[in-house]
Structure 1
Amino acid sequence: MGQHAHSHNELAGADLVAEAARALVASGEQWTSMREAVFAELARHERPVSAYDIADNLSAARGKRVAPNSVYRILDVFVAGNLAMRVESANAYLANTHPGCAHDCIFLVCDECGEAAHVDDEEVSRAVRAIAAQRNFKAERPVLEIRGLCKACA
């Protein structure tokens, strides 16, 4: 009960990159070759990845230095546009595999291997937003992180 009811259409690879491009352009932003490169690099990772890792990987692939600050700015655009999610405690990012769906971020973060499983739970999201509203606080981007051990590491 409380789990996300609608089907998500989990996307990957070229389909995910194309949907991210469509969603970003629809929001009024530009889809540049650099943004595409950053998103494609982010999307190929199953675990949260830092802006520095993305910058290093793109620098190696392109044969010229990509500045982490540039990557951070692009990731900020992706988070604002719901194309990526930030795992706050790890200062790392995950591609949103269903960019068209807006919902709050609930992460189960493994302290051993670093895996961050994203969970959708409308009941929890409503409760968190209600707590904020009761205190006259407008929740813009709720992120819940539950630290512990994943099944493989437990």
Structure 2
Amino acid sequence: MAGHHHHEHSGTNLVDAAREALLASGEQWTEMRADVFAALAGQDRPASAYDVAEAVSRGRGKRVAANSVYRILDLFVRANLARRIESANAYVANSHPGCRHDCIFLICDSCGKTVHIDDDRLTGALVGAAREAGFADVRPVVELRGHCADCSDD
């Protein structure tokens, strides 16, 4: 099977799934972590730590430092609650935090829209090549840049 099938969460279900996944990893679900996750999940595009810090600051009515948000986002990536888009230095909430798999991101150079797809044929070949080169515990993150359907119509 080419694609990886999983249940996509949204809204309150996504927050609940994220909390459960973080607790299962042995971490705590604090009020600040909840606020950071909600702010990240509320973004319609990949968000920088500064974007998330700004949203959390607005919600809390007081300034939240971006370096605090960076640490939480890094924890979320390690715990599979968020994905980091390297080329944009930005993050997206993982809509299926209980499911571990490799990532393929399609990123629009015009509008910034990011789509996440799964294709085990592609990432499996990358993992296989890495194993042949002597690497273990490899999790590919592939980023493809181009123009989304909306922007390529212009």
Please report the TM-score for the alignment, with normalisation by the length of structure 1. 0.95
Equivalent residue runs for 1:1-154 within 5 Å = 2-4=2-4, 6=5, 8-154=6-152
2:27 counterpart letter in structure 1: E
Structure 1 segments (4+ residues) deviating >3 Å: none
| Deviation (angstroms), 1:39 | 0.3
Aligned pairs, number:
152
| Deviation (angstroms), 1:46 | 2.8
CA distance in 2, matches of 1:16, 1:35: 14
| Deviation (angstroms), 1:139 | 4.6
CA contact (8 A) 2:127 2:138 kept: no
1:147 counterpart letter in structure 2: R
Task: Could you tell me which runs of 5 or more consecutive residues in structure 1 were left unpaired when the two chains were aligned.
Answer: none
CA distance in 2, matches of 1:123, 1:139: 17
Task: Could you tell me which runs of 5 or more consecutive residues in structure 2 were left unpaired when the two chains were aligned.
Answer: none
Q: RMSD of the alignment, in Å? A: 1.1
CA distance in 1, matches of 2:139, 2:66: 24
CA distance in 1, matches of 2:33, 2:148: 32
CA contact (8 A) 2:103 2:118 kept: yes
Say which SS state the counterpart of residue 149 (structure 2) adopts.
coil
CA distance in 2, matches of 1:140, 1:47: 27
Please report the TM-score for the alignment, with normalisation by the length of structure 2. 0.95
CA contact (8 A) 1:49 1:92 kept: yes
Say which SS state the counterpart of residue 24 (structure 1) adopts.
helix
Quote the sequence identity (%). Answer: 59
2:37 counterpart letter in structure 1: F
CA distance in 2, matches of 1:71, 1:117: 23
Say which SS state the counterpart of residue 152 (structure 1) adopts.
helix
CA distance in 2, matches of 1:103, 1:121: 10
